[in-house]
Chain A
Amino acid sequence: MTGAPQLGRNERPNPPPLAVVGSQTSQDEEIFGRAYDPWVVRRFLRYLAPYRRQLMLGIGAIVIFIAMQLAVPLVVRAAIDRALAGPEAGAALLQLACAVFFAVVTISYIANHVMEFVVGRVAQALLFDLRRAMYAHLQKVSLTFMDKTETGRLMSRLQGDVGALQEFLESSIYAIGDLLLLVGIIVVTLSLDPVLGGLTLLVVPALFAVRAVWLPLARQSFMRARETQSATNAALAETVHGVRTIQELQREDLNFTLFDAKAGDNLRAQLSASKYTNIMVPIVDTLMGVAMATVVIVGGGLALDDALDIGVVVAFLFYVQRFFDPIRSLTLQYSVMQRAMSAGQRIFEVLDVEIDVNDAPDAIDLDRAPARDDAERGAVELRNVTFGYNRNQPILRDVSLRAAAGETVALVGATGSGKTSIAALAHRFYDVWEGAVLIDGHDVRSVTQASLARTVGMVLQDPFLFSGTIYENIRYASEGADREAVIAAATAVGLHRVIESLPDGYETVLEESGGGLSLGQRQLISFARALVADTRILILDEATASIDSYTEREIQKALAILLKGRTALVIAHRLATIRGADRIVVLQDGQVIESGSHAELAAAGGAYSRLNQMNYASFDDIEAKPA
Chain B
Amino acid sequence: MVFAPSAPDKRLDILGDAGESAGRSRMNAAVLMRITRMAFRHRARMAVAILATVLAAVFQLFVPQLLGRAVDQAQGLIGQAGAQAVEPSVAEAALLTTALLLLSASVLRGLATMMQNYQGEAVGQIIAYELRLAFYRQLQCLSASWRDRVHSGDLITRGMLDVEGVRLWVSTGVLRMVLLSVLIGGGAVILFQIDALLAAIALSMVPIIGVRASVARLKLREAWLALQEEMSLLTRVMEENLAGIRVVRAFAASAYEMSRFDRISERARQVSARRIALFVSSTTQMTFIYFIVMGLVLWVGGQKVLDGAITLGQLTEFLGFMLILQMPVRQIGWMVNSIARASTCGGRLFAVLDLVPSIADGPDARPLPPGKGVLRFQNVSFTYKGRRQDRPTLSGIDFEAKPGTMIGIVGPPGSGKSTIASLIGRTYDVDSGAITIDGMDIRQATVASVREAVAVVQQQSFLFTASLEHNIAYGAPWSDRANIERSAGASQLHDYINRLPGDYRTLVGERGVSLSGGQKQRLAIARGILPDSRIIVFDDATAAVDAVTEQRIRQAIASAMADRTVIVIAHRLTSLMHADEILFLEEGRIVERGSHAVLVALNGRYADLYRLQTREAGRPAPDAEAAS
Q: Pick 18 A–B contacts, CB within 8 A, sort by A.
A: A17-B477, A18-B479, A132-B262, A236-B132, A239-B136, A239-B140, A243-B147, A256-B136, A260-B133, A285-B107, A304-B92, A415-B516, A502-B3, A509-B6, A516-B4, A520-B413, A545-B517, A623-B518
B80 within 8 A of A: no
Which B residues lie within 8 Å of A271 (CB)?
121-122, 125
Any A CB within 8 A of the CB of B358: no
Evaluate contact between A300 and B312: CB separation under 8 angstroms.
Answer: no
Residues of chain B lying within 8 A (CB to CB) of residue A267: 125-126, 128-129
Inter-subunit contact B129/A113 (CB<8 Å):
no
Q: How distant is A69 from chain B, measured CB to nearest CB, in Å?
A: 10
- Contact partner of A15 among B99, B478, B544, CB < 8 A? B478
Interface membership of B617, Cβ < 8 A: yes
| Distance between Cα atoms of A121 and B270 in the complex (Å) | 11
> Chain B's nearest CB lies how many Å from the CB of A450?
6
Residues of A within 8 A of B451 (CB): 247-250
Residues in chain A near residue B474, CB distance under 8 A: 19, 245, 249, 251
How far does the alpha carbon of A89 sit from the alpha carbon of B294 in the complex, in Å? 20
Bound Cα distance from A91 to B300, whole angstroms: 10
Inside 8 A of A279's CB, which chain B residues have their CB?
A: 114
In the complex with contacts A80-B312, A292-B67, A518-B413, A300-B516 CB distance below 8 A: no
Do the beta carbons of B427 and A248 come within 8 Å of each other? yes
Residue-wise interface mask of A (480-501) relative to B, using a CB-CB cutoff of 8 A (1 in contact, 0 not): 0000000000000000001001
**B254–A314 contact, CB under 8 A?**
no
Q: Say whether B432 faces chain A, with CB atoms less than 8 Å apart.
A: no
Structural contact, B102 and A242, CB atoms closer than 8 A: no
**Pairwise interchain contact A546-B543, C-beta atoms closer than 8 A:** yes
Q: Report yes or no: B616 in contact with A76, Cβ–Cβ below 8 A.
A: no
| CB <8 Å contact, B240 and A467 | yes
User: CB-CB < 8 A to B28: which residues of A?
Assistant: none
A147-155, A178-186, A336-344: which one contacts chain B?
Answer: A147-155
Which residues, 39 to 71 on A, are CB-close (under 8 Å) to B? none
| A-chain residues with CB within 8 Å of residue B135 when the two chains form the complex | 236
Q: Is the CB of A289 within 8 A of B102?
A: yes
Contact check, B245 vs A143: say whether CB atoms are below 8 A apart. yes
Judge whether B1 and A479 touch: CB under 8 Å. Answer: no
What is the CA–CA distance of A108 and B286 in the complex, to the nearest angstrom? 12
Residues A467 and B236 in contact in the complex (CB < 8 Å), given A128-B265, A313-B71, A498-B1: yes
Distance in Å: Cβ of A297 to nearest Cβ of chain B: 5
Tell me the chain B residues, 83-111 only, with Cβ under 8 Å from chain A.
Answer: 88, 91-92, 95-96, 98-100, 102-107, 109-111
Residue A304 contacts which of B76, B280, B619 (CB distance < 8 angstroms)?
B76
Q: Mark B263-291 against chain A: 1 for CB-CB distance below 8 A, else 0.
A: 00100110011001101110111011001
Residues of A close to B44: CB separation below 8 A: none
Interface size of B by Cβ–Cβ distance < 8 Å? 167
| Contact stretch, chosen from A212-220, A372-380, A454-462 | A454-462
User: Which residues of chain A in 604-627 are interfacial with respect to chain B, using CB atoms and an 8 Å cutoff?
Assistant: 612-618, 621-623, 626
CB pair B312 A85 closer than 8 Å: yes
B106's contact among A18, A237, A288, by CB below 8 Å, is which? A288
Per-residue 0/1 for A402-430: is the Cβ within 8 Å of any B Cβ (1 yes, 0 no)? Answer: 00000000000001000000000001010
**B367 at the binding interface (Cβ < 8 Å):** no
Contact A314 to B71, CB < 8 A, known contacts A108-B291, A263-B132, A549-B571 = yes
What 11 new A-B contacts, CB under 8 Å, besides A139-B241, A498-B1? A22-B465, A138-B245, A232-B132, A245-B462, A256-B137, A267-B125, A267-B126, A281-B113, A292-B63, A300-B91, A552-B616
Is the pair B3, A477 in contact by a Cβ cutoff of 8 Å? no
Residue of B at shortest CB range from A264? Answer: B129
> Given A113-B281, A271-B122, A285-B110 in contact, is the A297-B510 Cβ separation under 8 Å?
no
Kindly identify which residue among B95, B128, B295, B456 contacts A102, using a CB–CB cutoff of 8 Å.
Answer: B295
- Are A155 and B239 touching (Cβ within 8 A)? yes
Residues in A whose Cβ lies below 8 Å from that of B272 = 124
Indicate the size class of the contact surface on chain A. 35 or more
CB nearest to B164 among chain A residues: A229
Chain B contacts for A551, CB-based, 8 A: 1, 413
**Which of B139, B246, B470, B475: most chain A CB closer than 10 A?**
B246
Q: Which chain A residues border B600 with CB–CB below 8 Å?
A: none
- The answer to whether B547 and A616 have CB atoms under 8 Å apart is yes
The residues of A that contact B118 with a CB separation of less than 8 Å are 274-275, 278
Partner-binding segment picked from A382-390, A392-400, A573-581: A573-581
Quick check: is B613 within 8 A (CB to CB) of the other chain?
Answer: yes
Cross-chain contact B617 with A617 (CB below 8 angstroms)? yes
- Give the contacting residue for A233; candidates B92, B95, B160, B249; CB below 8 A: B160
Question: A576 near B616 (CB under 8 angstroms)?
Answer: yes
| Complex contacts, B320 vs chain A, CB 8 Å | 317
Could you say which of B144, B152, B448, B609 contacts A241, with CB atoms under 8 Å apart? Answer: B152
A436 within 8 A of partner (CB): no
Contact partner of A457 (CB less than 8 A), chosen from B105, B125, B250, B254, is B250
Residues of A within 8 A of B531 (CB): 249
Check if A554 sits within 8 Å of B140, measured CB to CB. no
Q: Which 9 A-B pairs have the closest CB atoms?
A: A289-B106, A453-B252, A285-B110, A249-B475, A282-B110, A23-B465, A477-B253, A17-B477, A458-B250
Q: Which residues of B contact A310 (CB under 8 A)?
A: 71, 74-75, 312
Residues of B within 8 A of A415 (CB): 516
Min CB–CB distance A554 → chain B (angstroms): 7
Which chain A residue has the least Cβ–Cβ distance from B476? Answer: A249
Contact indicator B246/A282 (Cβ below 8 Å)? no
Tell whether A239 pairs with B252 under 8 Å between CB atoms, given A121-B273, A617-B547: no
- Give 1 or 0 for each of B1-31: 1 = CB within 8 Å of chain A CB: 1111110000000000000000000000000
**Residue from the list A98, A233, A458 in contact with B295, Cβ < 8 A:** A98
Contacting chain A: which of B32-40, B177-185, B302-310, B560-568?
B302-310
**Quick check: is B491 within 8 A (CB to CB) of the other chain?**
no
Query: Contact between A548 and B106 (Cβ–Cβ < 8 Å)?
Result: no
Cβ-closest chain B residue relative to A619: B546
Q: Are B305 and A84 in contact (CB under 8 A)?
A: yes
Quick check: is B235 within 8 A (CB to CB) of the other chain?
Answer: yes
Given the known interface contacts A138-B242, A498-B3, A576-B616, the answer about A282 and B111 at a Cβ–Cβ threshold of 8 Å is yes
Tell me if A391 counts as interface (CB < 8 A to partner B). Answer: no
Please tell me if the beta carbons of A151 and B243 are within 8 angstroms of each other in the complex: yes
The reply on A438 being an interface residue by CB < 8 A is: no
Q: Which of B239, B246, B251 has a CB less than 8 Å from the CB of A477?
A: B251
Asked whether, in the complex, the Cβ of B74 is within 8 Å of the Cβ of A116, the reply is: no
Given A243-B140, A278-B118, A615-B547, A314 and B100 contact (CB-CB distance below 8 Å): no
Q: Check B102–A513 contact: CB distance below 8 A.
A: no
How far, in whole Å, are A397 and B96 apart by their CA atoms in the complex?
A: 93
B323 an interface residue at 8 Å Cβ cutoff? yes
